[in-house]
C-alpha cells in the first residue's frame, strides 16, 4: 500500500461480566472455539489486511496476554518490516497512571505513534469475534476524505441501547452519535473500529488530555467533539459475522455458532486472506474412546472423550469421562467432566472439575459458569 497504517488494539479492560474467567487473565486472552484466544481475531484481521505494525494496549492482568503475544511470531509479525508491541501504562516524570479511558490509552502512546509516523491509525477492540479485511474500509476513508471512518453494523432495534448509535445521511456521513441511548434514533451500531487520519486524531487527543472534565473516551468525548466541530465522519457498513463476547451468554453463543456450523463464521474455509492464526499447541492427539460419542461439536488436540458430547466445544487436554453427558457446553482447556456427570448449557472454566454424578443446569436455557472443583458457580 502507498500509505502507512498502524493498528492499535485496546486490550486492557477487566471483563468483569465474564466473572471468574477473567479473574486472573485479561479478556482478550480468554480461550475461544477450542483452539484460539479472542485476541487472535483482531490480530489476524490486521495481518490479512497487510497491516504489519501493531500496538496492543494492555493493562488489567496482562501477564498471560503478554506471554501469549510474545514477539508476534504466531501472526507473522516478527519480520524485518513488521512489529508487535505491547504497550502498558508507564511511569513517567509526572508519575505512574493507569489508562483513564480508550482515548487516553492512545494519548499515552503518542510517542510510539509519532515514531511510527503513520498516515492513518486503525483502532480496534481486543475482545470481538469477526473475520474481515480492513482494506475496503481504509479505501472508503481515503476516497471520502474523512477525518474518521467508523465501522457500523445493523443490530436488533431492541438491543440498540447497548451500543453507540449512529445517525447518517444519504451518503452515510455521520450526522449524530448517541452513546448507549435510551431511545435510539437508528439501529446502526458502532463496532468500536475506527480509522483516523493521524494528524487530526493527534490534535484531538492533545486537546482532550487537557480537559479535566473529560472521560477520555472515544465514544463519549472524541467522536462527539469532532461532530461538534463539523469534522467529516464517515460510516462504513460492515457485512458479516461480528460478536462482542463480553458476557457469558455472548461468549457461549459465539462458541455454539462454531460448534453448530454457522457459515457466517467459518473457520474451515480455504480463503488464505481470511485465516485466523493462533498458537499451535504442543499436545497429544485427540482421543475418542470405545464409549465416546461426539456429534455437532469441535474438539482440539489432547481432548479425551470417553462419554457423550453433543453441540460442544472441547478444548485442549479436556477430559470427558465414561458415561458423562455434555450438551451445548464450552469445555475449556484442562477441564474435567467426571464419570456419570450431566451438564447442559454451560461454560466449564479452565481446569475446572465437574464431580462424578453431578447434574448441572439440565433442561435450562440459561448459561452457567462452572469453575473450581465443586460445580456451578
Q: Buried (b) or exposed (e) across 203-223, using 16+ Cβ within 10 A?
A: ebbeebbeeeebebbbbbbbb
Q: For residues 135 and 24, state if they share a domain.
A: yes
- Read off the pLDDT of each residue in 58-79 and give the average, rounded to a whole number: 90
Asked whether residue 316 falls in the same domain as residue 224, the answer is no
**Residue 39, domain CATH:** 3.90.550.10
Q: Which of 247, 268, 298 is the last residue of a domain?
A: 247
Residue 145 has pLDDT above 80, yes or no: yes
Give the model confidence (pLDDT) of 261-272 as tens digits: 888 888 887 676
257 falls within a domain: no
pTM, two decimal places: 0.93
Position 231 pLDDT exceeds 90 = yes
Share of the chain above pLDDT 90, in %: 75
The reply to whether 128 and 232 lie within a common domain is: yes
* pLDDT tens digits along 314-358: 999 999 999 999 999 999 999 999 999 999 999 999 999 999 999
Cell of 62: 496482562
Residue 138 lies in a domain: yes
CATH code: domain of residue 332: 2.160.10.10
Q: Is residue 255 part of a domain?
A: no
Confidence of residue 97 (pLDDT cuts 50, 70, 90): confident
Is residue 267 assigned to a domain?
A: no
Binned at pLDDT 50, 70 and 90, residue 372 comes out as confident
Residues 296 and 344 in one domain: yes
Terminal C-alpha separation, the chain: 50
pLDDT confidence of residue 375:
57
For range 275-301, the mean pLDDT: 91
Whether 34 and 139 share a structural domain: yes
The answer to whether residue 9 sits within a structural domain is yes
Helix (H, G, I), strand (E, B) or coil at 75: helix
Please check whether residues 201 and 92 belong to one and the same domain: yes
Domain final residue, candidates 201, 221, 247: 247
The answer to whether position 270 is within a domain reads no
Average pLDDT over residues 187-212: 95
- The domain total for the chain is 2
pLDDT at 94: 62
How far is residue 351's CA from residue 333's CA, in Å, rounded to a whole number?
Answer: 6
Domain that holds residue 166: 5-247
pLDDT tens per residue, range 21-66: 998 899 999 999 999 999 999 999 999 999 999 999 998 888 899 9
306 lies in the same domain as 209: no
204 lies in the same domain as 137: yes
Same structural domain, 239 and 299: no
From CA 368, how far away is CA 209, in angstroms rounded?
41
Residue 189 maps to a domain: yes
- Together in a domain, 20 and 167: yes
Asked whether residue 227 falls in the same domain as residue 311, the answer is: no
Residue 376, pLDDT score:
56
78-92, 163-177, 231-245: the lowest-pLDDT one:
78-92
Q: Are residues 158 and 302 in the same domain?
A: no
Residue 261 placed within a domain: no
Amino acid at each position: 500500500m502507498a500509505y502507512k497504517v498502524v493498528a492499535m488494539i485496546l486490550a486492557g479492560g477487566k471483563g468483569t461480566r465474564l466473572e471468574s474467567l477473567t479473574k486472573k487473565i485479561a479478556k482478550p486472552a480468554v480461550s475461544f472455539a477450542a483452539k484460539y484466544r479472542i485476541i487472535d481475531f483482531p490480530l489476524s484481521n490486521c495481518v490479512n489486511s497487510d497491516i504489519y505494525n501493531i500496538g496492543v494496549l494492555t493493562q488489567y492482568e496482562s501477564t498471560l496476554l503478554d506471554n501469549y503475544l510474545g514477539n508476534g511470531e504466531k501472526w507473522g509479525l516478527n519480520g524485518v518490516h513488521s512489529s508487535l508491541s505491547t504497550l502498558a501504562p508507564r511511569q513517567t516524570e509526572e508519575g505512574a497512571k493507569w489508562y483513564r479511558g480508550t482515548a487516553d490509552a492512545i494519548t499515552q502512546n503518542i510517542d510510539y505513534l509519532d515514531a511510527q509516523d503513520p498516515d492513518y491509525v486503525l483502532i480496534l477492540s481486543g475482545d470481538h469475534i469477526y473475520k474481515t479485511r480492513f482494506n475496503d474500509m481504509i479505501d472508503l476513508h481515503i476516497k471520502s476524505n474523512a477525518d474518521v471512518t467508523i465501522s457500523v453494523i445493523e443490530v436488533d432495534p431492541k438491543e440498540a441501547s447497548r451500543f453507540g448509535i449512529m445517525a447518517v445521511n444519504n451518503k452515510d456521513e455521520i450526522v449524530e452519535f448517541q452513546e448507549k441511548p435510551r431511545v435510539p434514533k437508528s439501529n446502526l451500531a458502532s463496532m468500536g473500529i475506527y480509522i483516523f487520519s493521524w494528524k487530526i486524531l493527534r490534535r484531538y487527543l492533545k486537546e482532550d488530555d487537557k480537559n479535566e472534565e473529560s472521560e477520555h473516551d472515544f465514544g463519549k468525548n472524541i467522536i462527539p467533539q469532532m461532530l461538534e466541530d463539523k469534522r467529516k465522519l464517515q460510516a462504513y457498513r460492515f457485512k458479516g459475522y461480528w460478536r462482542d463476547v463480553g458476557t457469558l451468554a455472548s461468549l457461549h453463543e459465539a462458541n455454539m455458532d462454531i460448534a453448530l456450523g454457522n457459515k457466517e463464521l467459518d473457520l474451515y474455509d480455504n480463503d488464505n486472506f481470511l485465516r485466523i492464526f493462533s498458537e499451535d499447541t504442543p499436545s497429544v492427539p485427540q482421543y475418542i474412546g470405545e464409549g465416546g460419542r461426539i456429534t455437532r461439536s469441535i474438539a482440539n488436540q489432547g481432548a479425551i472423550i470417553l462419554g457423550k458430547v453433543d453441540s460442544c466445544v472441547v478444548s485442549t487436554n479436556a477430559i470427558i469421562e465414561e458415561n458423562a453427558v455434555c450438551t451445548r457446553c464450552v469445555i475449556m482447556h484442562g477441564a474435567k467432566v467426571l464419570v456419570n456427570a450431566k451438564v447442559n448449557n454451560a461454560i466449564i472454566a479452565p481446569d475446572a472439575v465437574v464431580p462424578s454424578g453431578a447434574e448441572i443446569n439440565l433442561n435450562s436455557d440459561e448459561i452457567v459458569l462452572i469453575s473450581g472443583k465443586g460445580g456451578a458457580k
